[in-house]
Structure 1
Amino acid sequence: MPYLSRIRINPLRAESRRYLESPHTVHGAVMGGLPGTATDERPLWRMDSDDPHRPHLTVLTRARPDWSHIVERAGWPDADGEHTLVRDYAPLLALIEPGREFSFRLTANPVQNSPTPLSPTAAQRKRIAAEQDSAHRRGFRMAHRTATEQLRWFLQRTERWGFAVPVSRTDPPAAGMEIEHANSAALGRTATQTPPDRADAVPREVRITARHRRTFAKNGRGPRVVINSVTFEGRLRVTNPEALTHHLLNGIGPAKAYGCGLLTLAPIKGVAAG
């Protein structure tokens, strides 16, 4: 049975600052909240710091967790109020049906694979120099750096994730996009039928609300790990309940151990399945 947790973080405490700066530290703390029987557990987590004065750690686990150690080290252990919320995730999963709309939040690590990086790192240069057959080179995983590339990465994958992002009801077309609208109308094509390679040509109900670059070394030593995380928020419409449920429970994209991949939904009041 999956559980979704929300833990209040006190940003003024020393351990909290480590949580906010190091995904490796948070990963260790999250794993420490799971029972010893959950040896194959791969929890998903996300640090929601849109309110810098009261960030929250959101975690999805299969076993029921205990977050008392995080509250003691990084929360308000002696203050009034509810410091952690742990909820059964099954009731929300039961609401997923074709046509239903939800508001969503996703922090992901948008990447691409390329055999020829423009600015290779020292480790990449070393691997390239050691290869005997460059024609069959295994691709390097590289982050999308610009907001446009990151948004395109997201919109081109929603179908496989089991949902669609509706066309924006309020935003005017971005500069240069009016032609795409005219072409769609001339061809008798609706906005939801935009070709996949032009999925970003029509304004949609999604925006980027945060972008972070985190650099850390595992266990304080060894090669540096770089994570470029992007938080997307907006509105989605369910197209494939099975696929969406799978990605809700198993995450989206790489770097899941380091705060990426957790997609969360919230029902929209007054909106039912279409």
Structure 2
Amino acid sequence: MPMTLTRIVVNRSHRQARLDIANRPGMHKTLMRLLAHPAGPTPRKNGGLLFRLEPGLDPVLLVQTADTPDLTGLPGGYGTTDTRDLTPMLTALTPGLPVRYRITAAPTAYRPTGAPPDSVTGRRPRGKITTLQGQDAQAWWQRQAANAGLHLTGPTETLRRPFPSPDRPAPFYKLTQFDGTATITAPDLLATALREGVGKGKAYGAGLLTLAPA
């Protein structure tokens, strides 16, 4: 299955772009227009849409899709774009290969609420989803990385990414960026993680894992 990554240098003077930077659900709606053939009850997942906003004087959107994106779906003047095929990168994944990684993710866990078990099934409620921070977030990423076929080889740098979305507050809107080095242990698992993303909040700018040569 093909996979592409589009780099969009966002035009801060564009009204819709400014609104999207301040509201990720709106950004998600804008980027869904890049899917040439959205289909089924989960079009984002079917289209392989993942994205990450990298802030700065010239904010950059990294947008991953399963197929070549329909760039005409972006509002005119939204930003400058460059798309590349990720197939060569996927085919180059080999055990022991050192890489640098970056991911902005939503570390979460279900915490017990103290509610009694269900009177019929005897099962306790799943609990309340909670954002993880500090060492808990680090431990979460270490587990996720191992499940994704990566062995972390150096210290992990973290940076909290506030999630500006005043209309829909939710736990997984609190994002953390993880940067570091790793070696590949399981190329098949890593390819799946790259395609499908990691963790929750994928429709809101979380979960896109990117790699570069170490």
Provide TM-score, normalisation by structure 1: 0.68
Evaluate the alpha carbon distance shift between residue 209 and residue 71 of structure 1 in structure 2; reply closer, same or farther with a 3 A threshold.
farther
Q: Are 2:100 and 1:103 aligned? A: yes
Structure showing greater Rg: 1
Inter-partner Cα distance in structure 1 for 2:62 and 2:85: 14
Inter-partner Cα distance in structure 2 for 1:19 and 1:154: 27
SS in 2 for 1:24: helix
SS in 1 for 2:74: helix
Contact 1:9 1:71 (C-alpha < 8 Å) held by counterparts: no
Q: Are 2:7 and 1:20 aligned? A: no
Evaluate the alpha carbon distance shift between residue 48 and residue 64 of structure 1 in structure 2; reply closer, same or farther with a 3 A threshold.
same
1:162 is aligned to 149
SS in 2 for 1:11: coil
2:181 is aligned to 235
1:207 is aligned to 157
SS in 1 for 2:194: helix
Instruction: Give the superposition deviation at 1:33.
Output: 1.3
How much is the aligned-residue C-alpha RMSD, in angstroms?
Answer: 2.2
Q: Which moved more, 1:10-19 or 1:52-61?
A: 10-19
Q: Are 2:150 and 1:225 aligned? A: no
Q: How many residues align?
A: 204
Q: Are 2:197 and 1:251 aligned? A: yes
Contact 1:13 1:74 (C-alpha < 8 Å) held by counterparts: yes
Contact 1:109 1:228 (C-alpha < 8 Å) held by counterparts: yes
Inter-partner Cα distance in structure 1 for 2:111 and 2:16: 38
Query: Unmatched 5+ residue regions in structure 2?
Result: 40-45
Inter-partner Cα distance in structure 2 for 1:214 and 1:42: 24
Inter-partner Cα distance in structure 2 for 1:42 and 1:244: 15
Q: Are 2:13 and 1:7 aligned? A: no
Inter-partner Cα distance in structure 1 for 2:166 and 2:141: 25
Instruction: Give the superposition deviation at 1:69.
Output: 4.5
Instruction: Give the superposition deviation at 1:208.
Output: 0.9
1:150 is aligned to 137
Instruction: Give the superposition deviation at 1:216.
Output: 4.3
2:67 is aligned to 63
Instruction: Give the superposition deviation at 1:262.
Output: 0.3
Instruction: Give the superposition deviation at 1:237.
Output: 0.7
Query: Unmatched 5+ residue regions in structure 1?
Result: 76-82, 118-127, 168-203, 219-223, 269-274
Residues 109-144 of structure 1 show CA distances to partners (whole Å, capped at 9, x for unaligned) of: 000011228xxxxxxxxxx69x76886112221111
Correspondence for 2:127 among 133, 139, 155? 139
Residues 128-163 of structure 1 show CA distances to partners (whole Å, capped at 9, x for unaligned) of: 69x76886112221111x332212211233211101
Q: In the alignment, residue 148 of structure 2 is paired with which amino acid?
A: W
Q: In the alignment, residue 91 of structure 1 is paired with which amino acid?
A: P
SS in 1 for 2:99: strand
Evaluate the alpha carbon distance shift between residue 236 and residue 71 of structure 1 in structure 2; reply closer, same or farther with a 3 A threshold.
farther
Inter-partner Cα distance in structure 2 for 1:24 and 1:6: 19
Contact 1:112 1:141 (C-alpha < 8 Å) held by counterparts: yes
Q: In the alignment, residue 256 of structure 1 is paired with which amino acid?
A: K
Contact 2:144 2:198 (C-alpha < 8 Å) held by counterparts: no
Identity rate, percent: 26
